Amino acid sequence: MLTKRIIPCLDIKDGRTVKGVNFVDLRDAGDPVELATQYALEQADELVFLDISATEQKRKTLADLVLRVAAAIDIPFTVGGGISSIADVEVLLKNGADKVSINSAAVKNPDLINELALQFGSQCVVVAIDAKQIENQWKVHLVGGKVPTELDLFEWAKEVESRGAGEILFTSMNHDGTKQGFANHALAQLSETINIPIIASGGAGNVSHFIDTFKEGKADAALAASVFHFGEISIPELKNELKQQQIAVRIETL
């Protein structure tokens, strides 16, 4: 049985880790290198690093920070934010990223998914989808949730898979930062729609939310930020609780 993954997320703005609610009202959450080091020691399965205000002008800063984080950890590391070309990906992989996450660029230029999968392998390509439920329809949003589109979450996920993405990171904008639980109905529908792994994001508030997203949402991994950053949930305790619920997780004896 494949183990379920626990993935802390570092949302980066101007070199610092930040966290908000429903994609707004950001507050400082600490130094990204220190947090990454802590999560690797706590046996997080992977780390996701998203430059939420990335621009081409900040590419060098992002690459330098990726290098510092990669040097501090020994777990798989996904980087996203402002990636729009093979050249962008080459820089990040050279600096220590294992995978890249693309979002707005994939919607604007879907062929980019094919190009990256062909160049670097599907296992390297994560497509992040930020979606909001509006009148019972899940609509994809771009640019950190600021720009709505007419794209349907499930149709877009199918296209993403067909183009060679290895994984989908689905964030429910309705649930983000609310600590009321993940969007398990949408996640379960996604798992029936596509065959590639799905990372659940948005809404983690307590241990039971992780249990529910693995059991009800059929998620392959669960991503969270503030509950880890501010010490509300410890990853070792979370994994022990998941194991007691007969959910397969990786626990290394030290």
Q: State residue 152's pLDDT score.
A: 97
**pTM for this prediction:** 0.92
Name beta bridge partners: 120: none
- Which pLDDT score, from 0 to 100, does residue 24 have? 46
CA 129 – CA 49 distance, rounded (Å): 15
What pLDDT score was predicted for residue 254?
Answer: 55
Residues of the chain scoring pLDDT < 50:
21-25, 55-56
| Confidence at residue 22, expressed as pLDDT on a 0 to 100 scale | 45
Name the CATH superfamily housing domain 5-244: Aldolase class I (3.20.20.70)
Q: What is the pLDDT of residue 82?
A: 83
| Phi and psi torsions of 100, nearest 5° | -125, 150
Domain boundaries, the chain: 5-244
Residues 83-123: tens digit of each pLDDT: 999 999 999 999 999 999 999 899 999 999 999 999 999 99
pLDDT at 52: 64
Q: Which residues are catalytic?
A: 11, 130
